[in-house]
Structure 1
Amino acid sequence: MAQSLTTLLADAHGLLRYVPTPKRVRARLHGHPVADSTRAVLLWEPRRVVPSYAVPREDVAAALSDAPAAAASPGGTGPAGGPGADGERAALDPSVPFAVHTTPGRPLSVEAGGAVVEGAAFALGDPDLDGYVVLDFAPFDWFDEDQPLLGHPRDPLHRIDVCPSGRTVRIEHEGTVLAETDEARWLFEGTFPMPRYYLPRRALRVPLVPGTLRTTCAYKGRASHWTVEAPGLRLPDIAWSYEDPAHDAEPVRGLVSFYTERLDVFIDGEPVRRPRTPWSRPAGQA
């Protein structure tokens, strides 16, 4: 019987998942070694959508100690891996802090070079990964071999395809056309449920001013955000661009994309159903 790979991956979303990597993986804290391993695994806790690195404890150069109670589980899970204050969200995107754990284990603090990061490690309780420690990404400088990493470890099953398309893309907000073009580049990324439409600046029908949001993608680099400001219309941080992209996103350098899950999109005049994503609402809005 044929199996949909998309369905299989979705069915595994609630499981603890891992993939060994042949890369040399290193983490540093202010230049001091935290971990150096050729036995790392990419690990997804249940409901996590991006991976972390887990390494054997003997490959951790930093000192590890039990995390204080306040840092061990601020709204996350207890040692039994029960539900926490993540609200039983179907997907835990990168905005959900590392301290929210969905698998059994023990939170640890990391000390390197005299600096202590509370709760930045997690000793896994799963017998198949006995002795492995998951490390938070944000506090440390990470390297695959000698390549610095951004945002989070790169998923080997994740890829980006950028395709020029002559189909007409029109983006609106409550009847006001924000942009329209038949020169968009469509960016397809992993299993994300919709493409992103990257538009040339000449496609814009409203002025953009620099926004306040800054985001980082492990595959595309650091994004600058843009706010629509027109008479009677202000949409904060509704669009973004990669002005100095990572190599995966070079084809969309300088082009503008919109959070279309908050807007109305028409392809060749036909409306596109809005998908539900972690970016469906502005940051901080319920």
Structure 2
Amino acid sequence: MPLFPTERSVRTTPEGLLWEPCERWVRGVKGEVTVVDSRHPVLVWEPEGIPVPRYAFPREEVRTDLLRPAEKPPTGTHTGSTIFYDLEVDGARMANAAWTFPAADLAGHIAFEWFLRRDDGLDHWYEEEEEIFVHPRDPHKRVDAVRSSRHVQVEIDGTVVADTRRPVLVFETGLPTRYYVPVEDVRLDLFEPTEHRTSCPYKGTARYWTFAGRADVPRNIVWSYPEPLPAVGAIEGYLAFFNEAVDLVVDGERLERPVTLFSKSLTK
């Protein structure tokens, strides 16, 4: 085997699925019951929808005795003609909690629905001894939080709401650079906290603020990670703005507003 491989280990199926073996020990737990205990998972990317990986597991590493044929299987939610299962644990039944992919490469594997299922999916997922959230982390994606001395200004409708020379820049594969600003350098008196929360498998759980002025901007335009994951600890307590909806001036250069997968979700 070459010391520096030049090809990724990702395979492609005729159905358009991408998949890759993973060497992490992955477990999924519901209540006190371990439903998945796998040392041979695979990561699967579907060709449509949000481009995040999901895990699929060999059947022998899944508590298939807890799976029941789905009473009301959905249509069009995953690639190909899938078979869905309900999960029954301690008398509670979770509809369409698991499914199989039609690809021959993935025959004998079962995937579990946990992306965006906070209430009716499994309670906890672990890679080795570390709990993971939202969806598996993509091994081909980097998220780096880098301290900087760039001069960053944020404007909303011509008003400077943040001005700093000590930002932390977050470089995340596939997304525009996010500029995190110390709270002392933000006009926080112009914003109101909201109850909105989101979770990220790379950064943690974020809280949000909405602009209190009259400008026509989306709600929840500002966010912060009060307890970020260790890999991005530099952003703790810093605030970031959606580049898609504010004006950013970096070292005197006004940046173009990007269009991203978040653009449509920014509602006014």
Task: Place the TM-score, normalised by the shorter chain, in its bin.
Answer: 0.7 to 0.9
**Partner Cα distance (2:263, 2:245) in 1:** 6
Q: Quickly say closer, same or farther: Cα 1:206–1:112, change in 2 above 3 A.
A: closer
In the alignment, is residue 277 of structure 1 matched against residue 260 of structure 2? Answer: yes
How do 1:100-119 and structure 2 match up within 5 A? 100-119=77-96
- Secondary structure of 2:228's aligned partner: coil
For 2:47, the equivalent position in structure 1 comes to 46
| Greater mean alpha carbon deviation, residues 141-150 or residues 14-23 | 14-23
8 Å CA contact 2:19–2:42 kept in 1: the answer is yes
**Partner Cα distance (2:162, 2:264) in 1:** 20
Quote how far apart the aligned CAs of 1:283 are. 5.1
In the alignment, is residue 68 of structure 1 matched against residue 71 of structure 2? Answer: yes
**Partner Cα distance (1:15, 1:184) in 2:** 41
In the alignment, is residue 224 of structure 1 matched against residue 225 of structure 2? Answer: no
In the alignment, is residue 164 of structure 1 matched against residue 147 of structure 2? Answer: yes
**Partner Cα distance (2:82, 2:242) in 1:** 36
For 1:35, the equivalent position in structure 2 comes to 36
For 2:3, the equivalent position in structure 1 comes to none
Deviations 1:192-226 (A, max 9, x none): 2x111000112213523321210001011111111
In the alignment, is residue 152 of structure 1 matched against residue 135 of structure 2? Answer: yes
- Secondary structure of 2:248's aligned partner: strand
Q: Quickly say closer, same or farther: Cα 1:284–1:237, change in 2 above 3 A.
A: closer
| Ranges in structure 1 where 5+ consecutive residues have no aligned partner | 78-99
Quote how far apart the aligned CAs of 1:281 are. 4.1
Q: Quickly say closer, same or farther: Cα 1:20–1:117, change in 2 above 3 A.
A: same
In the alignment, is residue 202 of structure 1 matched against residue 202 of structure 2? Answer: no
Quote how far apart the aligned CAs of 1:254 are. 0.3
**Partner Cα distance (1:148, 1:164) in 2:** 27
- The one-letter code of the counterpart of 2:69 is D
Quote how far apart the aligned CAs of 1:179 are. 1.1
For 1:92, the equivalent position in structure 2 comes to none
**Partner Cα distance (1:118, 1:218) in 2:** 24
**Partner Cα distance (1:109, 1:284) in 2:** 34
Identical-pair percentage: 33
Quote how far apart the aligned CAs of 1:190 are. 2.2
For 1:123, the equivalent position in structure 2 comes to 100
Quote how far apart the aligned CAs of 1:228 are. 2.2
8 Å CA contact 1:262–1:281 kept in 2: the answer is no
Q: How many residues align?
A: 248
TM-score, normalising length: structure 1: 0.80
- The one-letter code of the counterpart of 1:164 is R
Q: Quickly say closer, same or farther: Cα 1:65–1:283, change in 2 above 3 A.
A: farther
Quote how far apart the aligned CAs of 1:68 are. 2.5
Q: Quickly say closer, same or farther: Cα 1:120–1:220, change in 2 above 3 A.
A: same
**Partner Cα distance (1:19, 1:35) in 2:** 18
8 Å CA contact 2:222–2:242 kept in 1: the answer is yes
Quote how far apart the aligned CAs of 1:250 are. 0.3
How do 1:18-29 and structure 2 match up within 5 A? 18-29=19-30
